[in-house]
Amino acid sequence: MPQPAADIYIGVMSGTSLDNIDVVAVRFTQAGHVEPIARHSEAMPQDIKATVISLSRGHPVAITAIGQLDRRLGECYANAINTLLESASLRPKHVAAIGCHGQTVYHQPSGDYPFTMQLGDANVIAARTGITTVADFRRKDMAFGGQGAPLVPAFHNDLFSDAKQPTAVVNIGGIANVSMICPDQPLYGYDTGPGNMLMDAWIQRHKHQAYDKDGAWAASCSAYQPLLQRLLSDPYFSRPAPKSTGREYFNLDWLDRHLLAFSLSPSQVQATLLELTAQSIAMAIQPHEQGRVFICGGGAHNQTLMAALQAALPQWHIARSDDVGISCDDMEAIAFAWLARQTLYNQPGNVPAVTGASQACCLGAIYLPF
């Protein structure tokens, strides 16, 4: 297809944490640099969050509820994008495309009929914004036998292609994923396991708080090692890559089954869940002796978690992605802006070594605004 006249792209992300809709406008320069232009974030409506959690845990739901959720998420994304456009004095003609990941409601990359489902009607987004929209990124990779996730390592590799030392980019959202970029070695990456998801769910159950700010509750106690080792013995952590996971696997039902063998205080459990996140991330990085780690996602704001990661990886320099000019809150959204650009230029967006797909391919479907 013809190359777009505009050079600004918008990325939209609402992840497994289900806290915010993040929208970022960005320019990709010919020199390969990323120039963030504007951002907007707004809270995910609580009733939508509850419905998505119910779906991801396999609870029965009417097809009408799925259809309405798809439409409503499309409206939410479009409203957030239009708010960004207005605040940044951008017009639709200034934007080449929107890359919208959509809200994952179920991810099942194995079995006889692997599938992944992201909702958020891209037709609505294109119609409401007047901007070409690229969505449905994951299913092409799965059609070629891949996991459909994670997709961000391709962008991370582009961002750090000149790395002179082992470089890990770790996104800690609801689920954590790592991209490992090493000189003269193939790129690899995968979902390491729970990020903030279990910690958020546990503090919501016991303290009616959305998240553990700065990891303060987890820091009030020590991790209980027998529980930690039991959690880490789950087959997912020892399964070789490629692999991906989500809320449908790591949830409170999963945790409660493991807790039956113990009698612990809620704070002990929270401390152990934080250490589970840190240790499972470290397991993906430890095969390399030293290097640098850039953390993005909501977990980058958790100082207790950041300290636990540094303790688990003492030879590594750990910092937030802000140190390389990309806000830790924006990295994922920018990745999907980059993937939209790849699609418009008919370039691959997946990395077969990461996802397990049989070939590299151009991802996503293009929705025109007219």
Binding residue ranges for ATP:
15-22
Tell me how far apart the alpha carbons of residues 330 and 337 are, in angstroms, rounded to a whole number: 11
Question: What sections of 88-196 are H helices per DSSP?
Answer: 122-129, 138-143, 153-159
Take residue 115 and report the two structure tokens written for it. Answer: 């599938």
**In the chain, what is the straight-line distance between the N-terminal and C-terminal CA atoms, in Å?**
16
Sequence ranges of the binding site = 15-22
Take residue 247 and report the two structure tokens written for it. Answer: 């809320």
* DSSP at 4: P
Give 251-256 contacts, CB < 8 A, sequence gap 24+: 251/56, 251/57, 251/197, 251/198, 251/201, 252/198, 252/201, 252/202, 252/205, 253/57, 255/198, 255/201, 255/202, 255/231
Tell me how far apart the alpha carbons of residues 96 and 105 are, in angstroms, rounded to a whole number: 28
The closest alpha carbon to 160, from 141, 146, 178, belongs to: 178
**Cα 171 vs. chain centroid, distance in angstroms?**
6
In angstroms, the Cα distances linking 172 to 7, 100, 176, 186 are 29, 19, 4, 23
Q: Is the dihedral of CA 368, 28, 161, 191 positive or negative?
A: negative
Question: What sections of the chain are H helices per DSSP?
Answer: 46-56, 63-87, 122-129, 138-143, 153-159, 197-207, 216-219, 225-232, 235-238, 252-259, 266-285, 303-312, 331-344, 352-355
Helix (H, G, I), strand (E, B) or coil at 154: helix
> What is the largest distance, in Å, between two alpha-carbon atoms of the chain?
63
